[in-house]
Amino acid sequence: MIYTVTCNPSLDYIVSVDEFKLGLTNRTSEEGLLPGGKGINVSTVLMNMGIESTALGFVAGFTGNEIVRRLENMGVKNGFIYLENGFSRINVKLKSIDGTEINGQGPEISQEKVQILMEQLKTLGQGDVLFLSGSIPASMPDNIYQKIMESLEGKGVLIAVDATQELLLKVLSYHPFLIKPNNHELGEIFGVSLTTRKDVVPYGKKLQEMGARNVLVSMAGEGAVLIAEDGRIIEAPAPKGTLVNGVGAGDSMVAGFMAGWMEKQDYEHAFYMGVSAGSASAFSPNLATKEEIEAVYRQILQTKWQEAK
């Protein structure tokens, strides 16, 4: 089975505002409401690819109920833990102003509720796949991902971690199968600026030396690089297309990579599936469909074939 964990899920209010003016009343030209959070995005992309997963985490209040309702309507299974107080956050994402968003704080999560999540995850074993994605609320211990991986150590669970800074660094000694920093996050860890695919390789290798098995670095318009466990460095420029919506592209890349790995246990295939899924989501108003991912994958293979001639 495949499981995703989103400790701080959200309702994402995605809006476009033509000619946005600061300090004045602005009206939307387009809007949508979607269940959000990095793990939820992974589950959604996997579902779009025909792969079943169960989304785990915490929800609260009327927004939490709506997150669960929308996931169930979409066909995404979930085992969210309900909190008695507060409400799940609402994130406002201005699609017409690239990269601009306002993210809520989320509810307080008690140690008792954290323990319920730990009990849920204790049932995982050989052949299961777990995604630990995104930030955590301030009320949760900052070593929660580390504790989860510690509890699953030696049980044969493939774990992908998509988190930043300390959350990521604390899990490396437990040898996650995959981590996916972007080039800016990787640079922040080591106090450097990384702008080219060649730049990221030595620093990706450092994370490997610290314990990560595979390091996948996303670089937006510069493409991506995989520092694979078998010693290979696989890289690709960004596929050609028009950026429509960058929200969830990184999560899509993680989902695509793991889907590709589960399909063939081949790093090159997994890498190109990850790049295809991430790019297809960036080229789409919503998270990528299977058909959109396959179209980008064919483009990548065709480019490779032409370069090899």
> What is the set of active-site residues?
251
User: Which residues are within 8 A (CB) of 252 and not within 5 positions of it... i.e. 6 or more apart?
Assistant: 41, 42, 45, 277, 278, 280, 281, 287, 288
Rg of the chain (C-alpha set): 19
Burial class (CB in 10 A: 0-12, 13-18, 19+), 95: buried
DSSP state of 58: E
C-beta of residue 96 within 8 angstroms of C-beta of residue 17 = yes
